[in-house]
Structure 1
Amino acid sequence: MLEEVENWLSRRSWSVTDRPRSRLVTAKRASGARVSVVLPALDEQATVGQIVTVIREELMRGPVPLVDELVVVDSGSTDRTAEVAAAAGARVVHRDAILPRLPAVPGKGEVLWRSLLVTSGDIVCFVDADLREFSADFVAGIVGPLLTEPEVQFVKAMYDRPLGAGAGPGGAGPGGAGGEQGGRVTELMARPLLNMHWPLLAGFVQPLGGEYAARRSLLERLPFPVGYGVELGLLVDALHTVGLDALAQVDVGVRRHRHQDGRALGRMAAAIYRTAQLRLARGHLLRPELTQFERGERGFEPRTYQVDTEERPPIGGIAEYAARRVA
């Protein structure tokens, strides 16, 4: 197993510098593929505008733009996220306006699933809307293998993740690569789960990263966990659907973003465990709730949260999606 993973790492792990943008434009022209970029957004007015501006200015201009479509899906922001994104030049669609016959549920995965109904690209690229100091390399890097390697179907970004002021030179903090070694939930929950149950995926540096791209033809066949488990769920299901050799990762540098507090990370970890457990034993859920504690007037008081237990089916089976494809 280790030899297989190491072989995959040597063939399917690249750097963004391995594919100059001029090469990507040539490959895109030859293939005729269209590329859509989706930004799921919830109260991201501080960062979404800059991300949209960079993508539009660097990737959507010229006779053969690398990106054909840029959509921000607002999942119920209470700030000016939608206004800022639209002013920067994105097409903004509210989550609830997509497939209105099916009431939306809260969660990132829900937004990504619905985005397939309002985009048209043969390649769909997801980018989190809370990134700071955003570089167009995040998009160009993960779209690149899908334009140049016909057998590749799913590509994750990998990067350093500095944990704020403690970061040292090059963005690495005292914890090693990226300060938090790829993210606290990744190291304490996702990576152990993957190594124990899906060891072929042990080579992914950022299995929970929110920046990844895939062929629409693959995304149409995958179920989408509605919440925080979506990244792990898609990665595991892609492995089972198309095999390890169709998966890849690209080093795009450094990712800086808004960090969550410990309780929010706990809820993320619970959702990721639930997603993994569901794939290990379909139909059997251990306990879809998580109790945490906060100090109150009478000492530590329990707060119980529901863990996401719902998944959306492959979008290819939705009647409205099929009708849109025919049209």
Structure 2
Amino acid sequence: MAVKKKSKLGVLQWFNKHTFHHSKYADIDRLVALKKKQGVKISVGIPTLNEADNIGKVIDALMPLMKEKDLVDEIAVIDSGSSDGTDEIAREKGAKVFVSEKHLKDEGVFFHKGENLWKSLHMLKGDIICWVDADIKNISPHFVYGLVGPMLEDKKIGYVKAFYERPIHSVSGLQGEGGGRVTEIFTRPMFNTFFPQLTGFIQPLSGEYAGRREILERVPFFIGYGVETGLLVDIEKTFGLKAMAQVDLDVRVHRNQTTKALGRMSFGLLQVYLHRVPALRPLLKDFNAIYRFPETQIAKDGKKEYFLSEKEVKEIERPPIKGVSEYQIRKSFENDFLAKLTDTLFNIKRDLRGKRE
């Protein structure tokens, strides 16, 4: 794909022309033929933290796309330091495993999904990267071929978001609606106010998306809750809606967040708007990243007690990885041996510098 400057496309026109259903790409042999014609490699990255209960199921569901169909060239877990055996299970299932903190150490170490995605651009070899969350209970190959399909069909498309129905767990069982609460209560009103060109995205906060490397390596990544919003805003600003699409994956069943967790998530998302909306940017000067929320507990005498909890929720922004020197060097090598040698040399360099200091 030749990266071109942003060109305008109205949101209604985009919505009608760039919204697809995964069944359109169900002919995997056709996708493989298109992939070979383009001469591209496809990587699947799965960010994890203590996902031992489900990671094996996710890898088992996706592995046929690599072992049997040759659509995917690698499946890798990018782990934040799990303590429940997630990495061992992933290796046993045939996936590569990268521990995020062991890579690009000179750039600092953070622990969150966006950090793992940013670093995965350094670790994975694909020209197209597809990210899939590890907590999907109804995982199926269409979560991958549905997202990479539009890019294999149309070289002008470089970033594809998933959307789906998101059932929510309740005391009466799994309800057909109710997921995507932050999207409807916070993100959609904010998009309508500040980024109306993005209002056509049905699930802007969906955790599954795919992109071409030459687009992903040119945009910043927020390390936490804001990674999805930041990518939408920055990719549209740089490449325009013509480079973007969305695909209906039908239904996604996953672990639902508590209301308190969604509050922290919204607080992180708010920071993206402070960074990206010029009129709001002055508020960053005195911004306090400590998020306070009330909690209750039952005292020894059986009475309910109230107290305030605090948690730092700070959206740190990683720069476009294309400008990171270690990434530039690794990218220049074509085979895995030289890539591993690059990592070793950088580690030796860092260790020697540490001894001198």
**Which residue of structure 2 lines up, in the alignment, with residue 316 of structure 1?**
322
Instruction: Verify the 8 A CA contact 1:185 1:265 in the aligned structure 2.
Output: yes
Using the TM superposition, give the Cα deviation of residue 94 of structure 1 relative to its aligned residue in structure 2, in angstroms: 0.7
Segments of 4+ in structure 1 off by > 6 A? none
**Which residue of structure 2 lines up, in the alignment, with residue 179 of structure 1?**
177
Structure 2: state its 5+ residue gaps. 1-8, 334-357
**Which residue of structure 1 lines up, in the alignment, with residue 166 of structure 2?**
161
| RMSD of Structure 2 on Structure 1 (CA) | 1.8
User: Which deviates more, 77-86 or 159-168?
Assistant: 159-168
Instruction: Verify the 8 A CA contact 2:32 2:70 in the aligned structure 1.
Output: yes
Partner of 2:10, secondary structure, is helix
Within the candidate set 196, 199, 205, 2:196 is matched to 199
Using the TM superposition, give the Cα deviation of residue 103 of structure 1 relative to its aligned residue in structure 2, in angstroms: 3.0
Deviations 1:91-125 (A, max 9, x none): 01111111122331121111111111110100001
Partner of 2:105, secondary structure, is coil
Structure 1: state its 5+ residue gaps. none
State the alpha-carbon separation in 2 of the partners of residues 293 and 167 from structure 1: 27
Q: Which structure is larger by alpha-carbon Rg, 1 or 2?
A: 2
Q: Tell me the TM-score normalized by structure 1.
A: 0.92
Check 1:88–1:225 CA distance in 2 against 1; reply closer, same or farther (3 A cut): same
Instruction: Verify the 8 A CA contact 1:166 1:179 in the aligned structure 2.
Output: no
**Which residue of structure 2 lines up, in the alignment, with residue 7 of structure 1?**
13
State the alpha-carbon separation in 1 of the partners of residues 56 and 82 from structure 2: 14
Partner of 2:118, secondary structure, is helix
User: Which deviates more, 290-299 or 131-140?
Assistant: 290-299
Within the candidate set 46, 49, 57, 1:50 is matched to 57
Within the candidate set 24, 29, 36, 1:22 is matched to 29
User: Which deviates more, 314-323 or 19-28?
Assistant: 19-28
Give the % identical residues. Answer: 42
Within the candidate set 230, 233, 238, 1:236 is matched to 233
Within the candidate set 210, 213, 217, 2:214 is matched to 217
- Is 1:37 matched up with 2:35? no
State the alpha-carbon separation in 1 of the partners of residues 323 and 172 from structure 2: 46
**Which residue of structure 2 lines up, in the alignment, with residue 148 of structure 1?**
153
Matches within 5 A, 1:74-93: 74-93=79-98
The number of residue pairs the alignment matches comes to 315
Check 1:101–1:135 CA distance in 2 against 1; reply closer, same or farther (3 A cut): same
State the alpha-carbon separation in 1 of the partners of residues 283 and 40 from structure 2: 40
Instruction: Verify the 8 A CA contact 2:14 2:242 in the aligned structure 1.
Output: yes
**Which residue of structure 2 lines up, in the alignment, with residue 105 of structure 1?**
110
**Which residue of structure 2 lines up, in the alignment, with residue 289 of structure 1?**
290
Q: Tell me the TM-score normalized by structure 2.
A: 0.84
**Which residue of structure 2 lines up, in the alignment, with residue 73 of structure 1?**
78
Within the candidate set 211, 215, 227, 2:224 is matched to 227
